[in-house]
Structure 1
């Protein structure tokens, strides 16, 4: 059987990389006419990315049974330390984009070799195109060089896609100075949102002085140079946004394929026996889980406010608490505390013994899957939102960086599917200004609302809406569901457009 090959190019961030790999696995599972190669950029100084890439590049434990197991081919791109003329510096504000772009030569060589190999054996495979991460759209130029299609896998939701496209248009087409929205009380009408969006939830990097906004939004301007965009969402979750994006009909370019939620395949870690046993002893839906993503951590003053709120709320809790990385021009990932007593209020551990647990890194999906967990205090990363919705666990919003404030606004104001701790809270990773502190009283009130919310009749409350959306998320992926159909359409488009 002739294969149609797709080459995925994810950005080096862990959340983007995981979602991309799972998307590739989903495609392979759906259609045996496809083969997939994933090009992996090893992010410097990020051990979480390195550990994950080592794991996925290793043969699966049951690899002896290869007849029923299909997996992508992984190619590790040379890291900066292997490059004779590095193009990135630690002081560059646009470091991550410089790092991504530095791989152009290696990617071009790999694509050239793939095409040459297929020409030698023309009956075995065809190149269906490049599938680019949202931050890798500059590589659409490479697709043009080889006259192959470029697609995008957008790892966030439809509202975010519409928002970033709109800001790129304001900046480049209308010539607006986006710094006017910094600390502004302005609200904007934004395509894909049914309600005005306050400037205070705009990603901070897009409204401050410096080159980052230009570079960032240029990636979204380049979306128009692609043939189609797979979006990690499903129609029922973001119906207003999806309909807005697809308003151009079947002839529009790029086409929009809402194919999510892509999350359920990467449950690759389990809870430690000690934590699992503790959860097993708790009543159903009684535990609030606090977890803030791969980059989530707080200064000591904020940790103490969270601890005070938990203690006063009386809620059972499982808290993933991690130590902030060094501040600077490049965000450093969190590390583990040698002892939580370094930052927790004196006596907190003893006073909450039996009611709560404080742990380090946590396998988020495995914890959210446990029946004892009834609420989730989250940074509102899109992967975390999809996991919470798909598992029926409502969120209390505590966004920190990137588009998380926008996601929190969407959950609370657009969809009515989350309780608000804060919508516009932001972390300053550089440490240029004093950290913003969310008071214990505000956190306590939100946790109480989250954990006492009832599944109101007709899905009117937060918990009821999340449970209703949980069912719809599963239906979307089943044969005949909206996401199933969208993925089928993408596959047929890829095969028909292959060279």
Structure 2
């Protein structure tokens, strides 16, 4: 008698690497657990820019060669909306235009469908899953704090009658300390913005899902996760079960490069090898982080005056060829011209004590290096998780998306970071004196509590994903729920 076909998890990620790869890595853990088997079917939307398309195809090629049971289904192209009012409005609307194609793809699967796993921006497609009788799960690539805020946003919308930026006082988000309005994520500051309207809708769609898969851990964010689980985030309506399976990090490739005797270390890593333990502050601002020349000057002044060793990944402004002005906000930096951006004599004066790196750098390897003692970061959640995995305290410098809320949580709730005052009205500008103060604090005695807390969170992260840890147990519960719910699609 033939064995029954293996159920498949159908994934619909947003095309950005922080969304696509964290969703895929989370679901790959189900494949690697052994026992009850799944396959993965990744629905591939054509991104709205050529550079994003190239990056997605690179991910597809790598995963296709992994040997795991991962299949790829390319959805038909759609015309992007021409009248989007903002980045989040564009992304959500562009994804929603794929709904008929997603329905046809899921309905046409030749095997049982365990679930449709949706990016947070694709959450309204829980309706597609419901129409096919298929379970739906929203994948939360951001924090538990952001999840609690999104679920609670309709309540805040009703009780706060003025714009959040006009509020005199703090906002109360269940599971978090009182949140200053200036720490809200960029898309939800302006109630009149279409971006805000989308976030109201997205949070409501989360509530209609079968479950929520979150790239966090119980021990990292106990307050927000408990607030969702016990009903405080959405009073009067039980939230779907949340499965905190994180931290989900793809660390294998970096580790293998570092351990390879046939390949020399990256130049940044080789430079770190010559530095004393915990002596270097690392500055890096993600795949889309770059600064105007005036801000670069402030950073150079701060680094010279504070006197600490530093490794600074400095990127140049986007070019039209690389995607400047892209409708989805994916303005990727270019390699920096250090001669043009840096003040005259800065490299000479800091020679031996600092390294300015003008292109991509292996962030995971750098954070793993014993010479690194602190991290000035944009506060994207994947970067935060990498830093916590290695026990590195942070000074968060939020630039966009939900990063202002991340920075607030890291300082006020987790205690793993020192505060850095950014001027949101000046495009998140930081004065030299403020950055100097934060770096001195991060690397000096004032930062001792943040260092101790970061070391504690390192242990929390690693124990969570070990056999029997909280995230391992959540993954087991998710696996059982998916098998129990797997159904043949209905055309």
With the shorter chain as reference, the TM-score category is: 0.7 to 0.9
Q: Deviations over 1:96-146 (max 9, x none)?
A: 1121112222212211210xx23xxxxxxx211101111111111110111
The 1:175/1:312 distance shift into structure 2, 3 A limit, reads closer
Can you list the C-alpha shifts for 1:380-421, whole angstroms capped at 9, x where unaligned? Answer: 111111111111111111111111111111111112110111
CA distance in 1: counterparts of 2:391 and 2:453, whole angstroms: 9
Question: Quick one: distance in 2 between partners of 1:196 and 1:59?
Answer: 42
Q: Structure 1 residues 468 and 49, CA, compared in 2 at 3 Å: closer, same or farther?
A: farther
Q: 3-state DSSP class of the match of 2:10?
A: strand
In structure 2, what is the equivalent of residue 336 of structure 1? 334
1:319, 1:357 within 8 Å by CA — same for their partners in 2? yes
2:312 matched residue in structure 1: 319
Q: Residue in 1 aligned with 2:296?
A: 303
Which SS does the other structure have where 1:140 is aligned?
helix
Specify which of 462, 469, 479 is matched with residue 467 of structure 2: 479
Is the 2:85–2:194 contact (alpha carbons within 8 Å) kept by the matching residues of 1? no
Return the alpha-carbon distance in structure 1 between the equivalents of residues 391 and 196 of structure 2.
Answer: 35
Tell me which residue corresponds to 1:95. 90
Aligned residue pair count: 463
Q: How does 1:332-481 map to 2 (within 5 A)?
A: 332-337=330-335, 339-359=337-357, 360-422=359-421, 425-426=423-424, 435-453=427-445, 461-481=449-469
Aligned counterpart for 1:104 among listed residues 88, 99, 108: 99
1:292 equivalent to 2:282? Answer: no
Distance, in Å, in 2 between the alignment partners of 1:392 and 1:475 is: 13
- Is contact 2:378–2:397 with CA below 8 Å preserved after alignment? yes
Residue matched to 1:275: 268
Distance 1:323 1:48 in 2: 18
Matched, 1:161 2:147: yes
For 1:266 and 1:219, the matched residues in 2 are separated by 33
Match of 1:234 in 2: 217
Give, in whole Å, the separation in 2 of the partners of 1:88 and 1:480. Answer: 46
Is the Cα contact below 8 Å between 1:10 and 1:17 reproduced in 2? yes
Query: d(CA) in 2 for partners of 1:267 and 1:164?
Result: 34
TM-score by length of 2: 0.88
Q: 1:304: how far off?
A: 0.9
CA distance in structure 2 between the aligned counterparts of 1:341 and 1:455, rounded to whole angstroms: 33
Give, in whole Å, the separation in 1 of the partners of 2:303 and 2:286. Answer: 19
Cα displacement string for residues 154-211 of structure 1 (whole angstroms, at most 9, x for unaligned residues): 111211110111113333xx3755x611154420121121x21111111232122332
Distance in 1 separating the partners of 2:143 and 2:84: 31
Bigger relative contact order, structure 1 or 2 (CA pairs below 8 A, ≥6 apart): 2
Q: Which residue of the partner structure matches residue 207 of structure 2?
A: 224
After superposition, the Cα gap between the structure-2 partners of 1:302 and 1:482, relative to the gap in structure 1 and judged at 3 Å, is same
Q: Which runs of 5+ in 2 are unaligned?
A: 259-264, 319-323
Matched residue of 1:240: which SS?
helix
Q: CA offsets, 1:443-462, max 9 Å, x none?
A: 01111111124896xxxx11
Q: 2:26 touches 2:245 (CA, 8 Å); kept in 1?
A: no
Number of the residue aligned with 1:262: 248
Aligned partners of 2:33 and 2:326: how far apart in 1?
44
* Alpha-carbon offset, residue 77 of structure 1: 2.8
Q: CA RMSD, aligned part only?
A: 2.5
Question: What's 2:196 paired with?
Answer: 213
Aligned to 2:184: 202
Could you say which residue in structure 1 is the equivalent of 2:262?
Answer: none
Consecutive unaligned residues in structure 1, runs of 5 or more: 64-68, 119-125, 427-432
Q: How far, CA to CA, are the matches of 2:417 and 2:215 in structure 1?
A: 19
Of residues 378-387 and 205-214 in structure 1, the stretch that sits farther from structure 2 once superposed is 205-214
- Once residues 374 and 60 of structure 1 are traced to their aligned partners in structure 2, the CA distance between those partners, rounded to angstroms, is 37
Per the TM alignment, residue 497 of structure 1 is displaced from its structure 2 partner at its CA by: 1.3
